[in-house]
Amino acid sequence: MPQAQDVVREVLTLLEPMVAPDGGSIRLTEFAPEQSRLTVDYVRGHNDACSTCVLDGESLKAFIQEGLQTRGIELSDVTVREPGTAA
């Protein structure tokens, strides 16, 4: 059975192609399974032709949670930080 950290990295790797075409990126900042916590930095891309096509932080969070849950990992605290944007 894969370790939880490996599963987290797998899910983030699977989501990277969703944000990369518009210049976005996802980076694992902290994973603390004992506290049921995951923090990811998300640099949102930009698409002049379709601003609504760029994935927002809340949607990315939902995709991360769903990806983890389908692989048997439920975390109580998943945070997607968008550096440079107002919280």
Note the pLDDT tens digit of each residue in 12-39: 999 999 999 889 999 999 999 999 999 9
Contacts of 76 (CB under 8 A, 6+ apart): 36, 37
Report whether 8 contacts 36 (CB < 8 A): no
**Does residue 47 surpass a pLDDT of 70?**
yes
| Residue 65 CB coordination number (10 Å) | 16
Rg, the chain, Cα only = 13
pLDDT higher than 60, residue 71? yes
Mean pLDDT of the chain: 91
- Are residues 8 and 28 in contact, defined by beta-carbon separation less than 8 angstroms? yes
Instruction: Indicate the pLDDT class of residue 87, thresholds 50, 70 and 90.
Output: very low
Taken in order of first residue, the domains within the chain and their CATH numbers are: 4-81 (3.30.300.130)
From edge to edge, which strands make up the β-sheet containing 77-81? 25-32, 37-43, 77-81
